[in-house]
Amino acid sequence: MSGENAFPEVFPQAEQVDVRLTVNGREYAVRCEPRTHLADALREHCGLTATHIGCEHGVCGACTVEVDGAPQRACLQSALRFEGKSITTLEGLEDDALTDALRAAFTACHALQCGYCTPGMLMTARDIVRRLPDADAARIREELAGNLCRCTGYQGIVAAIEQVLATYRSERRHAA
Ligand code: FES
Ligand code: FES
């Protein structure tokens, strides 16, 4: 093989498709390969890097975003599949009171170390608080089973979610 290039000098251009995504209430026109998954489209084409990518196999939950109001993995399906859906990333929750409360509780409870899992954890935690206002620690752990954290041992994350749930329950009681 000496002196010979084993690879062609010019690789054929991969097929590109146009995808329209609605993220955080804004329209994005994305041109990408058909196989580009939503997480890559968000990060590489929309500049929304709060969504992290870990396993790309639907296991770790780092890529969790909200699609039409429910948490969903962003690494498992082509961005094309999300046309016409409403996607929310952590960037879109800057003014969300519940996300603010969760961020503060995560800090207070030492619920993060490297922070890599945190965006996905916050998306799932937000869903838990909204959907399961009476969840106890065991139920929180069950709900967090799809989000992996290599650093914290989960204790602080569960405590943070419990703290926010307790505050919301107390506010509900006072409002009643
Ligand atoms: S990167 Fe999507 S689940 Fe791990
Ligand atoms: S804080 Fe490092 S992976 Fe969760």
Residue 24 pLDDT > 80:
yes
The verdict on 73 and 103 lying in the same domain is no
- Give the number of whichever ligand sits closest to the CA of residue 149: 2
The answer to whether the predicted template modeling score (pTM) of the entire model surpasses 0.85 is yes
User: Residues enclosing ligand 1, CB less than 6 A?
Assistant: 53-56, 58-63, 73, 75
Q: Which residue, by CA, sits nearest to atom 2 of ligand 2?
A: 114
Q: Which two tokens stand for residue 2?
A: 């000496």
Number of domains in the chain: 2
Q: What tokens does 3 get? A: 């002196």
Q: Which domain holds residue 64?
A: 17-90
Domain containing 81 — which CATH number?
A: 3.10.20.30
Residue 1: which pLDDT band, with cuts at 50, 70 and 90?
very low
- In this structure, the answer to whether residues 65 and 118 fall within a common structural domain is no
The tens digit of pLDDT for each residue in 79-132 reads 999 999 999 999 999 999 999 999 999 999 999 999 999 999 999 999 999 999
The reply to whether ligand 2 has any atom less than 6 angstroms from the CB of 153 is no
Ligand 2 binding pocket includes 150 (Cβ within 6 Å): yes
Kindly state whether residue 5 falls inside one of the protein's structural domains. no
Residue 146 in domain: yes
User: What is residue 85's predicted lDDT score, i.e. its pLDDT?
Assistant: 98
The 3-class secondary structure across the chain, one letter per residue, is CCCCCCCCCCCCCCCCEEEEEEECCEEEEEEECCCCEHHHHHHHHCCCCCCCCCCCCCCCCCCCEEECCEEECCCCCEHHHHCCCEEECHHHHCCCHHHHHHHHHHHHCCCCCCCCCHHHHHHHHHHHHHHCCCCCHHHHHHHHHHCCCCCCCCHHHHHHHHHHHHHHHHHHHHHC
Quick one: 167 and 112 in the same domain? Answer: yes
Angle between the N-to-C axes of helices 97-108 and 118-131, in degrees from 0 to 180, rounded to the nearest 10: 120
Helix/strand/coil for 40: helix
The pLDDT of residue 141: 98
Q: Residue 120's domain is classified under what CATH number?
A: 1.10.150.120
**Best residue among 107, 110, 112 to mutate for probing ligand 2, ranked by most atoms within 8 Å of CB:** 112
| CA separation for the pair 25, 34 (Å, rounded) | 23
For residue 56, the model assigns a pLDDT of 97
Query: Which ligand is in closest contact with the Cα of 54?
Result: 1
Name the residue at shortest CA distance from atom 3 of ligand 1. Answer: 58
Ligand 2, atom 4: closest residue by C-alpha: 149
Confidence label for 7 from pLDDT (cuts 50, 70 and 90): low
The rounded distance, in Å, linking the Cα atoms of 79 and 19 is 7
Tell me, yes or no, whether 107 and 169 share the same domain. yes
pLDDT tens sequence across 123-148: 999 999 999 999 999 999 999 999 99
Q: How many helices (DSSP H) and strands (DSSP E) are in the chain?
A: 5, 5
Report yes or no on 3 lying in a domain.
no
The region, left, alpha or beta by phi > 0 then psi within -120 to 50, assigned to residue 124 is alpha
Instruction: Establish whether residue 110 lines the binding site of ligand 2, counting it when its CB lies within 6 angstroms of any ligand atom.
Output: no
Distance from residue 98's CA to the centre of ligand 1 (Å): 24
